[in-house]
A and B are shown apart, each in its own frame.
Chain A
Amino acid sequence: MAAHCESGTVTALLNHGGLEITEPMVFGIASGIFFGYFESSNFSFPMFIVRNKPGSMRRNIAKRMGVKFYNKSFKKPQQGIDELDRLLADGHPVATQVDFYYMEFLPEYIRAHINVHFVNIVGKNEKNYLVSDAYHRDKAELSVEVLNKARFVGGYMAPKGFLFYPFHIPENIDFNKAIIKGIKKAAFDMTKLPVPFVGIKGMRKFAKKVTGWPELARDIDHLSHEIMKINVLLEDQGTGGAGFRFLYATFLQEAAQKLNDSQLEGMSKRMMAIGDDWRNISYFAAKIGKNRDLGKERLNELSQMIYNMADQEQAFFSELYKMVK
């Protein structure tokens, strides 16, 4: 199991390749921490993400640590199926992108159509693939037919059978340099990207827009569902915000030890406290959603809590950026 599917698959593959590295370190070097608020007809309701763009963790690890990944997507499904089978036969565990909905070994109620889930495929028998999923305790079997469907569905961010594995891990990695670069990019993306719906700006947009959610919902139960999904997005699923703040705090603590930097240690404690405040928001959202206590006043309260997080994270990431500049 891992905290997140993409950092989890990359970490497991690097560990398998002989590199001892933790998930928080992968997440931090890859600048995994992020925020974005999206209103798009690709989603059934406005949504936010709390991690960087799917696929970029692997790319950033390659760039900053010199790891070489074999990666490929496919126009023709049969080519992608054959390629996965060939790599498995050669003894490589392989990460592949799938529609989360088809991970039938997970409880039905948590499965949704999200095309950017990553799992490691570690084996195959006649009928099934052996799947290692960050959100499942044990390795699971998934039928060949279902995994193929999950890899080759269409739609927004269609997986196109995308797969990858590391084929070269350098012996001497300059972790200090990689850590600094990872922090710098994350802090830049959070505070300086000139896009109105990402980073701190995205957080403020979310805070502003959430008070208008009642006009978008079909009825009070639908509104309650969407408000309670704030908890899911902050805690449970791949976008995991509060969880990700804790993950990032753990990275900063590890980084502080590697770089022998007491300032970073202090920042790690601050990030842990920020995670706790996000967690308060997710608990609050779950409670008011359950109680259908979703009047104007309550949503203003929620909005104010999110504005406060934006202020906190702006101060935090601005300071972090100055430290590594």
Chain B
Amino acid sequence: MKEKEAHIDFDLHPLVLYVEKEDGSYGRIESASFLSSNYLDDYLEKIKKWDRELKDKLEKGDISPVYYYMIMLEFGESDLASRVGISKRKLRKHCKMAAFEKISLKLLKRYADVFDVPVSNMLNFIAINEKDQKRLKISTRKSNNPYITISKIEIQ
């Protein structure tokens, strides 16, 4: 790749690329991600759509929160099961509400830790109107009790 064709200006996602310089030597330049600089909006739209569709299914009870987070975070089943410390078979069952509603609080916490969310987020989703999203800030603070987190909603 020639150096003059390689430059992409996109500060959010810089990359190092090796290119052919004008004198024919090969060397490094700092460029940026082609995909991020051109198609980030498309990706974010898809994520929003999946979030909406999966939450609809959650509300109807067609899927469990485990399935929701597994899809949104793009976990492979075996990888996720191993992180949580259960079998893949059990994980598949927990993707449906019938088995999910029987799991212990301890296991729910293990799922929440792997999904990197407070345990309360396994059962509760906060919706904010799009126009208010920049105005409101939600922060979560852990307490000494591993099952209890404090969510604070502030107007910015």
Chain A residues with a Cβ under 8 A of chain B: 1-3, 23-24, 40-45, 101-102, 107, 109-110, 112-113, 134-135, 137, 153-156, 158, 221-222, 224-225, 228, 231-232, 235-236, 243, 246-247, 249-250, 253, 268, 272, 275-276, 279, 282-283, 286, 289-290
The residues of A that contact B114 with a CB separation of less than 8 Å are: 153
What's the Cα separation between A23 and B12 when bound, in Å? 23
Asked if B79 contacts A24 (CB within 8 A), the reply is no
Q: Min CB distance, A116 to chain B, in Å?
A: 12
A sample of 27 inter-chain contacts (CB < 8 A) reads A3-B15, A3-B16, A3-B18, A23-B28, A24-B18, A41-B77, A41-B88, A42-B78, A45-B74, A102-B116, A109-B47, A113-B74, A134-B16, A153-B114, A154-B83, A154-B84, A154-B85, A225-B43, A235-B33, A235-B35, A243-B18, A246-B17, A249-B26, A250-B26, A250-B28, A275-B1, A286-B35
Q: Min CB distance, B1 to chain A, in Å?
A: 6
- Nearest CB to that of A268 among chain B residues? B26
- Nearest CB to that of A27 among chain B residues? B18
The residues of A that contact B13 with a CB separation of less than 8 Å are: 107, 110, 236
- Nearest CB to that of A111 among chain B residues? B73
Number of A-B contacts (CB under 8 A): 127
Say what secondary structure dominates the interface of chain A.
helix
Q: Min CB distance, A202 to chain B, in Å?
A: 19
Q: Does B40 contact A (CB under 8 A)?
A: yes
Asked if B34 contacts A1 (CB within 8 A), the reply is no
Chain B residues with a Cβ under 8 A of chain A: 1, 12-20, 25-28, 30, 33-36, 38-40, 42-44, 46-47, 49-50, 70-71, 73-80, 82-85, 88, 114, 116
- Residue in B30, B47, B114, B116 with the greatest tally of chain A CB atoms within 10 Å: B116
The residues of A that contact B20 with a CB separation of less than 8 Å are: 272
* The 3 A-B residue pairs with the shortest CB-CB distance in the complex, in nearest-first order: A155-B83, A250-B26, A41-B78
Residue A253 contacts which of B25, B46, B80 (CB distance < 8 angstroms)? B25
The residues of A that contact B82 with a CB separation of less than 8 Å are: 154-156, 158
Q: Min CB distance, B18 to chain A, in Å?
A: 4
What's the Cα separation between A135 and B38 when bound, in Å? 19
| With known contacts A225-B46, A268-B26, A283-B34, A236–B15 Cβ distance under 8 A | yes
Asked if A243 contacts B78 (CB within 8 A), the reply is no
Residue A279 contacts which of B1, B16, B33 (CB distance < 8 angstroms)? B1
Asked if A236 contacts B73 (CB within 8 A), the reply is no
| With known contacts A109-B44, A113-B74, A231–B15 Cβ distance under 8 A | no
- Residue in A158, A222, A243 with the greatest tally of chain B CB atoms within 10 Å: A243
The residues of A that contact B88 with a CB separation of less than 8 Å are: 41
Asked if B36 contacts A236 (CB within 8 A), the reply is yes
What's the Cα separation between A113 and B46 when bound, in Å? 19
- Nearest CB to that of B85 among chain A residues? A154
Asked if A224 contacts B77 (CB within 8 A), the reply is no
Given A41-B77, A155-B79, 8 additional A-B pairs, CB 8 A: A3-B18, A24-B26, A44-B75, A231-B34, A235-B15, A243-B15, A243-B18, A268-B26
